[in-house]
Amino acid sequence: MRHSNLRSFLECLKREGELHVIEAEVDPYLELAEIQRRVVARQGPALLFNRVVGTKFPVVTNLFGTRRRIDLAFGEEPYRFFNRVAEAAERLMTPSLSRLWEFRDLAKAGLKLGTKTLRRGPVLDHVIAPARLKALPQIKSWPMDGGAFLTLPLVYTEHPVSGRSNLGMYRIQIYDDVNAGMHFQIHRGIGFHYHEAEKRKMPLPANIFLGGPPALIMSAIAPLPENIPEAVLASLLLGDKAAFIRNRHISVLPLAAEAEFALVGQIPPEIRRQEGPFGDHYGYYSLAHPYPIFQSERIFHRKDAIFPATVVGRPRQEDHYIGEYLQELFSPIYPLVMNGVRSVWAYDDAGVHTLAAAVVNERYRREAFMAGMRILGEGQLSLTKFLMLTDTPIPLKQFRPLLVHILERADFESDLFVFSNVSQDTLDYTSGRFNEGSKAILMGLGEKRFTLQTAKTAELKNPAFRRQHIFAPGVLVVEGPAWQKNDSNVELLLAEEAVQQFRIVCLVDDAADCASSEESFLWTVFTRFEPAGDIHSRKMHLERFHVQLSAPIVIDSRLKPWYPPVVQPLPETIAKVDALWSKLFPSSAWQL
């Protein structure tokens, strides 16, 4: 069963033992988020907070925090559909009537894609006019956050010229009853819409939905191509056309009929306000920067509306399970939209955009490189900072075996490409410049060429380097002193006998923690280095405008002074939740 609204999904979760209702009063200032983080870490249930300080609206969180709940939301049909599309694309390259008839089920499913128009809907049950954003739950997740944020908003806009719609999820900081900060980048759909409106000195109408069908929430997160409306994916996940209210007396833009809340307003041109800081999914704070604002005019909401929210931070959080689901769902389509690409995987434990890997074709010399460039030019994959390529069909989700496979084949003189002075994910501060940085491609193709070192070869001689741990064959993790400008520690490390037999040496602040697990290695190494600034080798040679490096290479993943702080809860918040825990979860299975 798929769900037409949030209420239906919550009833399903309750029946399945996947919803825990909290009747104790909970503070939305840091406390509520700390509770969710602990439950996510235990792969616990969705949480319904019935008494939240400062608001009459209950709050539901952790809706998608396990794979089981995602399956309860959407079932198996979306997987089947995408696999059938991929199968049809291959078999219908030489079409025939019999083959067309074989895929008639796709035509039937296509009739349910898109939207249906209503004049009224449950979201219009009540209206708050003028708007009072402060009446909504004021959830602050981390101590240094700039204020309260909407963390599951579905922002709907239309292009001022073409009329094409975009439904995206962009965090929103509440300033006061009317104004809110809109954190979006120019490369996202809403960014293109706003750019066009601002060029014409026009406000961009915008509606913000909270809640609704789980399918609508998921479609707003999904990395769809710019020309595919999110409503198409929403209807596919829903199994029916998505319901929208179109009534220009209420709003110039449509409203999601089954949403819990709908905020109607606009984004005015040429107005910026500091938005942030915000503890983000990289595990660090994204800093305050000037962003456009949303001006709310009215707030519609259902009777007994429930406010949905999530909490992000150092992986893994709820968004980890969402990201994995979407990647698996779209995996059959990647070869159709990116020629030469067979499969792709982005690593949530590294913050998603910092690292991805792909299986690509290498039917002629350097075909794999062209496939890599296609990946770096495709939608949100274009934000990838470090891309690893292989032509061997191996599972990409298992990072350690993949890394070993690549290092057994990659020659750093010819197979490592670094591109500097390019755009970088807004949330990635490793270059020290906003939205600017570098990218790298590492190719490990063909047959095995290198034997990887599996044991320590010598003790570190320089006392500056305190510990060494092997993360994987060929990969040594070394703990060094804190980073300082113009220090010589990388050069000193490259001179150490202990590193010479390894292919990659990662210089970090805490070697034991970094090497303790795959998740910790991914987060520590890839969120703390920038390819053009932090990859080093003892021998570097420029040949035909290509920089050739010799092994070992050192990746300097120490924290630098310009990096934003790592997100951490306050000791007093931890103590407060500790004291409250037995009231929240009286069952012994959930005791601390």
Are residue 357 and residue 259 in the same domain, yes or no? no
Percentage of the residues of the chain whose pLDDT score is greater than 90: 81
For residue range 536-577, what is the model confidence (pLDDT) as tens digits? 999 989 899 999 999 999 999 999 999 999 999 999 999 999
Q: Decide if pLDDT at 591 tops 80.
A: no
**The last residue of a domain, from among 308, 325, 348:** 308
Lowest mean pLDDT among 77-81, 143-147, 408-412, 548-552: 77-81
**Within 13 A of 454's CA, how many CA atoms are on the CB side?**
4
Q: Is the pLDDT of residue 140 over 70?
A: yes
Residue 552 lies in a domain: no
Question: Quick one: how far is CA 527 from the chain centroid?
Answer: 13
Q: Are residues 383 and 295 in the same domain?
A: no
User: Both 229 and 361 in a single domain?
Assistant: no
Secondary structure (3-state) at 282: coil
Domain boundary (425, 444, 463) is at: 444
The CATH number given to whatever domain includes residue 300 is: 2.30.110.10
Residue 93 has pLDDT above 80, yes or no: no
Q: What is the pLDDT of residue 157?
A: 96
- Note whether 304 and 355 are same-domain residues: no
pLDDT in the model for residue 592: 52
Going by C-alpha positions, the residue among 298, 301, 252, 300 that lies closest to residue 130 is 298
Strand runs labelled E in 283-406: 285-286, 289-291, 293-301, 307-308, 341-346, 355-360, 386-390
Residue 563 exposure: Cα atoms within 13 Å on the Cβ side: 18
Residues of the chain with pLDDT > 70: what percent? 95
Regarding whether 270 and 364 lie in a shared domain, the answer is: no
Rounded to a whole number, what is the largest CA-CA distance in the chain?
Answer: 76
The confidence score (pLDDT) of residue 62 equals 97
Tokens coding 440: 């790298």
167/290 same-domain check: yes
- Mean pLDDT for the stretch of residues 35-47: 96
Residues 175 and 41 in one domain: yes
pLDDT for position 185 = 74
Q: Is the pLDDT of residue 103 over 70?
A: no
Q: Which residue has the higher pLDDT, 334 or 477?
A: 477
Do 349 and 407 lie in one domain? The reply is: yes
Question: Strands of 355-360's sheet, edge to edge?
Answer: 341-346, 355-360, 386-390, 436-444, 416-423
Would you say residue 151 has pLDDT above 90? yes
* Chain segment 278-329, per-residue pLDDT in tens: 999 999 999 999 999 999 999 999 999 999 999 999 999 999 999 999 999 9
- 354 in the same domain as 304: no
The CA-atom distances, in angstroms, between 230 and each of 115, 167, 168, 212, 266 are 10, 6, 8, 14, 20
CA distance 230 to 183: 19
The pLDDT value recorded for residue 378 is 87
pLDDT bin (cut points 50, 70, 90) of residue 82 is: confident
What is the domain count for the chain?
Answer: 2
Residue 27 has pLDDT above 90, yes or no: yes
Domain that holds residue 214: 6-308
Q: What is the mean pLDDT of the chain?
A: 93
Which residues, in sequence order, are bridge partners of residue 29?
140
- Within a domain: residue 131? yes
Average pLDDT (255-266) is 98
Do 374 and 412 fall within a single domain? yes
47 membership: H or E segment, kind and range: strand 46-49
Q: Is residue 580 part of a domain?
A: no
Same domain, 183 and 226: yes
Q: Report whether pLDDT(460) > 80.
A: yes
Q: Mind listing the pLDDT tens digit for each residue in 182-234?
A: 998 766 789 899 999 999 999 999 999 999 999 999 999 988 776 778 888 89
Q: What is the CATH number of the domain that holds 404?
A: 3.40.1670.10
pLDDT digits (tens, 9 = 90+) for 298-308: 999 999 999 99
Is 90 exceeded by the pLDDT of residue 350? yes
Asked if the model's pLDDT at residue 389 lies above 80, the reply is yes
Mean pLDDT of 523-530: 97
Q: Which helix (H) or strand (E) holds 214?
A: helix 214-221
458, 459, 463, 467: CA torsion to nearest 10: 110
**C-alpha to C-alpha distance for 311 and 290, rounded to whole angstroms:** 23
CA–CA separation, 202 vs 268, rounded Å?
7
The span from the CA of 534 to the CA of 555, in Å, is 6
Residue 466 lies in a domain: no
Residue 592: inside a domain: no
Residue 33 belongs to a domain? yes
Mean pLDDT of the region 459-482 = 96
Mean pLDDT, rounded, for 1-18: 93
Q: Looking at 397, 425, 444, which one is the last position of a domain?
A: 444
Same domain as 294, residue 250:
yes
Q: What average pLDDT score do residues 382-409 get? A: 96
Confirm whether 579 is domain-assigned. no
Confidence grade of residue 83 (pLDDT, cut at 50, 70, 90): confident
458 occurs within a structural domain: no
Report which secondary-structure segment, H or E, holds 245.
Answer: strand 242-245
pLDDT of residue 188: 72
Model pLDDT, residue 427: 87
pLDDT reported for residue 99: 64
Query: What is the structure's pLDDT at 71?
Result: 95
